[in-house]
Amino acid sequence: MKKSDKITWSGCPVRYAAGVFGDKWCFVLLRDILLHGKRYYGEFAASEEGISTNILADRLSRLEGDDMLTRHVDPNKRSKVFYLPTRKARALLPAFLGMMVWSTEFDEKTAAPASFAKAFREDPKAAIDWYEAEIDRVNAGLEHSS
């Protein structure tokens, strides 16, 4: 029985969000996909945080099961696999960027430039659109695939 099977919580939006990505590694994976343009299993495995492969595989399949990612075998090199964010995952961008703004304000060691928070606060929609376009750009080379 997987952890997610036990979470039968339903109704409360915060519980729902916690069930889907209220977990250190899901957080990091979604960041890599939504903000860092990563798509391949190997790219996730190589992340700075050093996720171990058993956890990585578990979280990827959980996110797939939650309709956040779709799994694809690379048609050009069928031993490689990539994951694309669904519309549902992409819709998290505003909340994710909101968290980033929060971190840049309260983490004294933040690596994010102040200009990011400023830009987001002045025109959130423009900032979101910029990241959306990035996601499209990264996906473009992949989404003709099975």
For residues 119 and 127, is the Cβ–Cβ distance under 8 A? Answer: yes
Distance CA 29, CA 56 (A): 9
Q: Smaller CB distance to DNA: residue 1 or 111?
A: 1
Per rule CB under 7 A, is residue 77 in the interface with DNA?
Answer: yes
d(CA 102, CA 73): 37
Q: How far apart are CA 66 and CA 57, in angstroms?
A: 14
Q: How far is the CB of 103 from DNA (least distance, A)?
A: 20
Structural contact between residues 67 and 90, judged by C-beta atoms closer than 8 angstroms? no
User: Which one of the spans 36-44, 92-100, 123-131, 136-144 is the region binding DNA (CB under 7 A)?
Assistant: 36-44
Options 5-13, 54-62, 71-79, 130-138: segment touching a copy of itself (CB under 8 A):
5-13
What is the distance between the alpha carbons of residues 10 and 16, in angstroms, rounded to a whole number? 7
- Determine which residue in the list 27, 36, 47, 61 makes contact with DNA, applying CB under 7 A: 61
Residues 56-75 that bind a copy of itself (CB under 8 A): 67
Residue 50 binding DNA, by CB under 7 A: yes
Residue 48 corresponds to which tokens in the numbers above?
A: 């700075």
Residue 107 contacts which entry, a copy of itself, DNA, none (Cβ below 5-8 A, type-dependent): a copy of itself
How many whole angstroms separate alpha carbon 70 and alpha carbon 88? 11
Give residues 78-117 in contact with DNA (rule: CB under 7 A). Answer: 78-81
Contact between 54 and DNA by CB under 7 A: the answer reads yes
Residue type, 52: S
Q: For residues 144 and 109, what is the distance between their CA atoms, to the nearest angstrom?
A: 40
Contact positions toward a copy of itself, by CB under 8 A?
9-19, 22-24, 27-28, 31, 35, 49, 67, 88, 91-92, 94-96, 98-107, 109-112, 124
